């Protein structure tokens, strides 16, 4: 067991840094608390927590589907299980018709049972016997982008197929297009084609991508100081000149934030490119949505900046080279900038978010979260060089960063 006093000191120091608003201190505090918990949890308890994790997902899923969390959020403090039951759409069997002869008890069962893990996880508060109150996390959990739920329905399903898939097939860390992956084994095809063909999940995924902004306290155009690096005097001002192309930009929420931040003070068009099903019918003032498949030549030539957020990590180097190659060919040497926002991992001591997202990329796509060395190799292979890595926080833990590149 690690030295408890040392772990407590780390928590204390990190809490003080966070209180002072030190950049990256929040993540450091979370890591410190996790390390403290690891230090006092026995091996059997650790494994049990991991084993029980899916049941929490199930409770959240039931809570969202039946509307338990929505009722709670709408009613405000001190909502009883009976009040929740009166408003949710439960069918008798689901709530355990055969278990209790008492109708009231039957109605209470589902909320009471699912609210136990939910309140233990801090997603709502238990304020009395079968009485609950919503908290900040409840409001977050019921958002359009969180409900839906790609995580439970697709991610957990895919994760649980990994063992059977490995027994039936060879496992390839970086599979080629004709090799099976956990996600194609589970869904019958890669993730993005599946999302395009299944609008319920496609919309849920896009909503989640937008909603996750709330868990992202940094803004990429501040981390990469856009006002300073894209100076007015160096921007083309012709009518057609393009300032920013957000490639694989989803429905355009990050470019919308960029646009609202700069309020038209930087000249040039703002373009969001994504698959047809994603950009179809979307209209945001001041932004052009363009249907574009990034495996084809980039149609927008000589833009000031091409921005890829959370795209490159979806793909292995072989595929990423094709995507980047298409955009690098459209860049104007000496003018265009390539901006890639993704995690940059250290060789040792990768933080919790980056370490897990890396596995998500392996299971759900064919991708990887890259170290600085791996980024350098990939980027050099497509004819650009890194000018600077602008990091959100302490790069030594592996944080999101904006990698600024120029064409060589
Ligand atoms: C992980 S999401 C990132 C979205 C957005 N950049 C963000 O960070 O919120 C990857 C995006 O790539 C898009 N995408 C996948 N395949 C594509 C393709 N062949 N051409 C263009 N966009 C694609 C997806 O539709 C999705 O919006």
* CATH 3.40.50.150 segments of the chain: 216-407
pTM of the entire structure? Answer: 0.86
Catalytic positions, written as ranges:
313
Higher-scoring residue by pLDDT: 4, 27: 4
Q: pLDDT tens, 362-378?
A: 999 999 999 999 999 99
Of 73-82, 145-154, 245-254, give the lowest mean pLDDT range.
145-154
Q: What is the pLDDT of residue 91?
A: 46
Residue 158 has pLDDT above 60, yes or no: yes
Q: Which atom of ligand 1 is nearest to the CA of 311?
A: 10
Cα 301 to ligand 1 centre (Å): 20
Residue 295 has pLDDT above 90, yes or no: yes
Residue 383 has pLDDT above 70, yes or no: yes
Q: Which atom of ligand 1 is nearest to the CA of 313?
A: 1
Q: What is the pLDDT of residue 214?
A: 65
Q: Which atom of ligand 1 is nearest to the CA of 295?
A: 19
What's the CATH fold of domain 41-141? Answer: Arc Repressor Mutant, subunit A (1.10.10)
Residue to mutate (ligand 1; options 145, 150, 191, 192; most atoms within 8 A of CB): 192
Average pLDDT for the chain: 87
Confidence of residue 101 (pLDDT cuts 50, 70, 90): very low
Cα 315 to ligand 1 centre (Å): 11
Pocket (CB within 6 angstroms of ligand 1)? 192, 209, 248-250, 274-275, 278, 292-295, 309-311, 314
216-407 under CATH 3.40.50.150, yes or no? yes
Q: What is the pLDDT of residue 231?
A: 76
Residue 96 has pLDDT above 50, yes or no: no
Confidence of residue 1 (pLDDT cuts 50, 70, 90): low
Q: pLDDT tens, 167-182?
A: 988 888 888 888 899 9
Cα 178 to ligand 1 centre (Å): 21
Average pLDDT of the residues in 70-86: 87
Q: What is the pLDDT of residue 239?
A: 84
Q: What is the pLDDT of residue 216?
A: 63
Q: What is the pLDDT of residue 74?
A: 94
User: How large a percentage of the chain has pLDDT more than 70?
Assistant: 90
Residue 394 has pLDDT above 80, yes or no: no
Q: What is the pLDDT of residue 398?
A: 58
Average pLDDT of the residues in 213-219: 69
* CATH 1.10.10.10 segments of the chain: 41-141
Confidence of residue 405 (pLDDT cuts 50, 70, 90): very high
CB 204 within 8 A of CB 279: no
Q: What is the pLDDT of residue 94?
A: 41
Q: What is the pLDDT of residue 374?
A: 96
């Amino acid at each position: 067991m690690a030295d408890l006093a040392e772990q407590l000191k780390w928590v204390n120091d990190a809490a003080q840094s966070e209180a002072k608003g030190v950049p990256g201190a929040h993540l450091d505090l979370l890591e410190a608390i996790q390390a403290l918990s690891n230090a006092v949890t026995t091996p059997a308890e650790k494994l049990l927590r991991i084993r029980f994790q899916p049941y929490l997902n199930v409770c959240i899923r039931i809570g969202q589907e039946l509307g338990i969390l929505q009722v709670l959020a709408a009613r405000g403090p001190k909502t009883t299980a009976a009040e929740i039951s009166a408003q949710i759409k439960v069918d008798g069997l689901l709530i355990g018709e055969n278990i209790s002869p008492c109708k009231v008890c039957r109605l209470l069962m589902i909320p009471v049972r699912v609210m136990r893990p939910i309140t233990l996880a801090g997603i709502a508060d238990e304020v009395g016997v079968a009485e609950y109150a919503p908290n900040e996390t409840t409001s977050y959990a019921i958002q359009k982008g969180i409900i839906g739920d790609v995580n439970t329905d697709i991610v957990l399903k895919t994760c649980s197929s990994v063992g059977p898939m490995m027994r039936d097939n060879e496992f390839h860390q970086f599979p080629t297009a004709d090799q099976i992956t956990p996600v194609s084994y589970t869904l019958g095809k890669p993730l993005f084609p599946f999302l395009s063909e299944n609008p319920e999940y496609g919309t849920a995924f896009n909503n989640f991508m937008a909603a996750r902004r709330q868990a992202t306290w940094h803004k990429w155009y501040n981390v990469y100081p856009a006002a300073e690096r894209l100076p007015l005097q160096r921007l083309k001002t012709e009518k057609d000149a393009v300032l920013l192309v957000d490639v694989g930009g989803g429905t355009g929420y990050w470019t919308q934030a960029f646009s609202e931040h700069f309020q038209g003070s930087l000249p040039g068009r703002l373009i969001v490119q994504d698959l047809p099903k994603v950009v179809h019918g979307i209209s945001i003032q001041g932004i052009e949505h363009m249907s574009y498949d990034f495996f084809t030549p980039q149609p927008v030539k000589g833009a000031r900046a091409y921005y890829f957020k959370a795209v490159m990590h979806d793909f292995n180097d072989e595929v990423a080279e094709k995507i980047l190659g298409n955009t690098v060919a459209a860049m104007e040497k000496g003018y265009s900038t390539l901006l890639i926002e993704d995690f940059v991992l250290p060789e040792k001591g990768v933080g919790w978010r980056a370490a897990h997202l890396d596995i998500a990329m392996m299971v759900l796509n064919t991708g990887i979260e890259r170290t600085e060395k791996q980024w350098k190799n990939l980027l050099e292979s497509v004819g650009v060089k890194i000018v600077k890595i602008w990091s959100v926080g302490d790069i030594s833990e592996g944080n999101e960063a904006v990698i600024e590149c120029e064409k060589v």
